[in-house]
Amino acid sequence: MLHQGLGRIIEQVAKDRGMDKKIIISALEEAFLTAAKKKFGLTKEIEAHFNEEIDDIELFQFKVVVEKIADEAMEITLSEAKKLDPEVVMGDSIGVKMDAKKFGRIDAQTIKQVIVQKVAEAEKDIIYKEYIGRKGEIISGIARRFERGNIIVDLGKTEAIIPIREQIPGENIRAGDRVQAYLLEVQDVTSKGPQLVLSRSTPLYLIKLFELEVPEVSEGIVIIKGASREPGFRSKISVTSKDPDVDAVGACVGIKGSRVQNVVQELRGEKIDIVPWSDNDMQFVVNSLAPAEISKVIIDDINHSMEVIVPDDQLSLAIGKKGQNVRLAMQISGWKLDIITESKILERTNRAKKSLMAIPKMTDTLAMGLYQHGFDTFEDVAKGEIKDLRLVPGVETEEKAQLIKQDAQSLVNQGLTTDKLVNPREVPAEAKAVVTPETGDNEKS
């Protein structure tokens, strides 16, 4: 006997670790095999099997069936082999049970080390398989410690990490606090086991919170189409309803704002705009910029951008604090947005008209047509393509397009510029509020 009483140990370890007995048995067999090879040398082909009947590990050495033995350690005669397996033939390899009395008890320390290693590997695999299937869920645990600003969360069987980049700025989480977050990644990369990456800042967490808070969302009646966030400050979530009798926005807000306030509380006061989704891109952008009032939207499909014209007193509301409102609207809509006031549009229109009207024989109607087709100045006309000029109503023929282009070029040849024409004393800068997705800063162009 190598080690009687293993069955009881297997049962206890399996229970303590929450594992299948087969995993523990496999670890034991490999542990005894490793110890046996260490004792008898790696040249011998040995296998280890747990025998439940005798409650012990059995070791088998494989020998080749030969007619005449040249190496007793590696070979067995056909007559001896048939005693073990009547169907064996010459040249087969057959397992011969090793006599434990010949070598005594195998090194217990080696066995223990291998078992610990194999059980640990099995635990890592179990944890990985469990959590890879939970990716995209909300996970709850206890904040245990902080490592270089990252929060280490105790999940019971394993730990997870909330990296600095996935935390809500300004949020005060202390050791011992219960914290929940979105399971963003399950990385099977570390020697300690899979690394679970949690996030409290991803828009996906916001969406998941509404799925849990709003029954109409979990039931598939209200659909969340997208979300954008500036964690800890403001976010937008777009919704629509499959049922015309169900108001998507109202369902997410809840009675007296109860549902949205529960989400706001979880996100530590983050302001949430619930936006009615529309398959009309222009309308959706208008909805996304609420509560600002929009006067007009000009779409540029080629550059996938929109020029949004607002009353002068709505500019700051449309852009939002530090550009938050328009930046979030861009993220959730996928369009680049330029916010411009009505007064600046009027200035730009008057400037363009004054420049274009300088072209000989120009009419108000033709000047407006050129402006609407992207020709803001006579310089634009002078360097414009004939094919583009012919798209303007009233300039259909190549001859007329050529004539207008030549007249505009004559102004350029005279050294005249639009800036000199509009204001001879100074070069005006057209004021247009452009908020970039990256910075949210206002630029003048």
Question: Structural domain boundaries of the chain?
Answer: 6-124, 135-201, 204-277, 359-415
Residue, of 304 and 361, whose pLDDT is higher = 304
The whole-number pLDDT of residue 355 equals 93
Least confident range from 20-24, 359-363, 385-389: namely 20-24
Q: Which range has the top average pLDDT, 54-68, 102-116, 314-328, 430-444?
A: 314-328
Residue 194 token pair: 């899979």
- Chain Cα centroid distance, residue 349: 43
Helix (H, G, I), strand (E, B) or coil at 222: strand
The whole-number pLDDT of residue 424 equals 65
Residue 264 token pair: 């706001």
Residue 248 in this model has a pLDDT that exceeds 80: yes
Q: Which range has the top average pLDDT, 45-54, 114-123, 215-224, 432-441?
A: 215-224
User: Per-residue pLDDT averaged across 329-333, rounded?
Assistant: 97
The whole-number pLDDT of residue 1 equals 46
User: Per-residue pLDDT averaged across 300-317, rounded?
Assistant: 95
The region, left, alpha or beta by phi > 0 then psi within -120 to 50, assigned to residue 18 is left
Burial letters for 332-342: b for 16+ Cβ neighbours within 10 Å, e otherwise? bbebbbbbbbb
Place of tokens 């607002």: 310
Place of tokens 């190496």: 71
Q: How confident is the model at residue 187 (pLDDT cuts 50, 70, 90)?
A: confident
Q: How confident is the model at residue 44 (pLDDT cuts 50, 70, 90)?
A: low
User: Per-residue pLDDT averaged across 34-46, rounded?
Assistant: 72
Q: How confident is the model at residue 439 (pLDDT cuts 50, 70, 90)?
A: very low
Q: Under CATH, which number does the domain 204-277 receive?
A: 3.30.300.20
The whole-number pLDDT of residue 37 equals 77
Sequence-ordered alpha helix ranges (H) in 192-237: 203-213, 215-218
Q: How confident is the model at residue 5 (pLDDT cuts 50, 70, 90)?
A: low
Residue 387 in this model has a pLDDT that exceeds 80: yes
Distance CA 372, CA 399 (A): 21
User: Per-residue pLDDT averaged across 220-232, rounded?
Assistant: 96
The whole-number pLDDT of residue 88 equals 85
The whole-number pLDDT of residue 138 equals 97
Phi and psi at 190, nearest 5°, equal -95, 155
Which superfamily, per CATH, for 6-124? NusA, N-terminal domain (3.30.1480.10)
Q: How confident is the model at residue 129 (pLDDT cuts 50, 70, 90)?
A: confident
Mean of the per-residue pLDDT values of the chain:
86
- In 86-177, the DSSP E strands lie at 93-97, 138-147, 150-154, 159-162
Q: How confident is the model at residue 188 (pLDDT cuts 50, 70, 90)?
A: confident
Helix (H, G, I), strand (E, B) or coil at 45: coil
Residue 17 in this model has a pLDDT that exceeds 80: no
Q: How confident is the model at residue 437 (pLDDT cuts 50, 70, 90)?
A: very low
User: Per-residue pLDDT averaged across 349-366, rounded?
Assistant: 92
The whole-number pLDDT of residue 93 equals 86
User: Per-residue pLDDT averaged across 103-130, rounded?
Assistant: 73
Which superfamily, per CATH, for 135-201? Nucleic acid-binding proteins (2.40.50.140)
User: Per-residue pLDDT averaged across 202-208, rounded?
Assistant: 97
| Same fold? 135-201, 359-415 | no
The whole-number pLDDT of residue 443 equals 42
pTM assigned to the model = 0.72
Residue 236 in this model has a pLDDT that exceeds 60: yes
Q: How confident is the model at residue 125 (pLDDT cuts 50, 70, 90)?
A: confident
Q: How confident is the model at residue 270 (pLDDT cuts 50, 70, 90)?
A: very high
Distance CA 346, CA 344 (A): 5
The whole-number pLDDT of residue 427 equals 44
User: Per-residue pLDDT averaged across 163-183, rounded?
Assistant: 95
The whole-number pLDDT of residue 266 equals 94
Least confident range from 62-66, 108-112, 350-354: namely 108-112
User: Per-residue pLDDT averaged across 386-406, rounded?
Assistant: 91
The whole-number pLDDT of residue 4 equals 57
User: Per-residue pLDDT averaged across 141-149, rounded?
Assistant: 95
Place of tokens 């200035």: 347
Residue 55 in this model has a pLDDT that exceeds 50: yes
The correct answer on CATH 1.10.150.20 for the domain covering 359-415 is: yes
Q: What is the CA radius of gyration of the chain?
A: 38
User: Per-residue pLDDT averaged across 17-23, rounded?
Assistant: 78
Q: Which range has the top average pLDDT, 2-16, 30-44, 334-348?
A: 334-348
Contact call for residues 85 and 65 (beta carbons, < 8 A): no
What single DSSP character describes residue 66? E
The whole-number pLDDT of residue 10 equals 77
